[in-house]
Amino acid sequence: MNLVDREGNVLAEDNGQDKFLKLMYTTKIGRAVTSLLVHPALSKVGGKLLDTKKSTCVVPKFCEMNHIDLSLYEKQEFDSFNDFFTRKVRKELRPIDTEPTHLISPCDSRLSMYEIHSDATFEIKNTHYTVASLLRDEKLAKEYEGGYIGIFRLCVDDYHRYHYIDNGVQSKERRINGVLHTVNPIANDVYPIYKENSREYCIHRTENFGDVIMMEVGALFVGKIVNPKNKKKTVRGAEKGYFEYGGSTVILMFKKDTIIPDEDILLHTKEHCETRVHVGEKIGLKK
């Protein structure tokens, strides 16, 4: 799947991550290693290691391999690898569109936007899913038929914090435990990705876009999701939470007749391309 900018220009990407994942998911040895790495106990051990000061030794090479410019972030010295991975981008580089009727992106990511059809099925990265299987709640899924689902896929070089799209109130988080597998499209040939990933979601009762489901999906190795657990008032553009190490995905679901996605994003999705977006950037309108 190609990555394009808002004008439709194809963006060049380092495909090292894709080659690595193809090896891990399409060979016998790779699948055997993967089955061990995604085990919850090993995932916890990995998480603890990434919280140590010694883990910062890999940061320079990681930045080099993934073309990460640390000057774009609030700090350049870190206490651990996870401290580096959850680094905050400089605020002036991510201005928040403050027009209330503008739908904004919750994160830096590669975006695909799909209509939720009446039969409640949709396609993500060449694999078909249902809203009900994501939510594990058929009644709630029914409420979003005819609306839109936005898939915001983060890669390792992205800013890994996500933000509220509007003022409002969020419900308590619902957590769905699962085996952590990568959200990268290559893995779809072997595993039904989102059915096996740990995920959390809340209902965000927004001022301008109705009741929006906001879901975070963990991924390979650690993929830890850090969210507020209780109900809270929200402010447009304010941080909601973050992912620790592991490729990750944010999902937004909108009810029928609440939003109009930007035409370029819908066109790119139909052409099987992801659109590069940044937190706070306009991606649609209130209907």
pLDDT digits (tens, 9 = 90+) for 253-277: 999 999 999 999 999 999 989 999 9
Which CA distances in Å does 61 have to 65, 67, 81?
Answer: 6, 10, 12
37-66 mean pLDDT:
81
pLDDT in tens, 150-176: 999 998 889 999 999 999 999 999 998
For residue 126, the model assigns a pLDDT of 42
Mean residue pLDDT across the chain: 85
Mean of the pLDDT values across residues 197-204? 89
Continuous H helices in the chain: 16-26, 28-37, 40-49, 59-66, 81-85, 131-135, 138-142, 193-196, 263-270
* More reliable by pLDDT, 69 or 187: 69
198 — pLDDT class (breaks 50, 70, 90): confident
Cα 264 to Cα 179, 270, 281, distances in angstroms: 34, 10, 14
Average pLDDT over residues 21-28: 61
Angle between helix axes 28-37 and 16-26 (nearest 10 degrees) is 100
Lowest mean pLDDT among 34-43, 50-59, 210-219, 238-247: 34-43
Whole-number Å distance between alpha carbons of 174 and 230: 10
Question: What pLDDT score was predicted for residue 21?
Answer: 58
pLDDT tops 50 at residue 125: no
Q: Pairing mode, if any, of strands 273-277 and 2-4?
A: parallel
pTM: 0.87
Which pLDDT score, from 0 to 100, does residue 194 have?
Answer: 47
| Identity of residue 55 | S
- Amino acid 77: pLDDT: 94
Q: Which residues are known catalytic residues?
A: 108, 248
Q: Is pLDDT larger for residue 124 or for residue 162?
A: 162
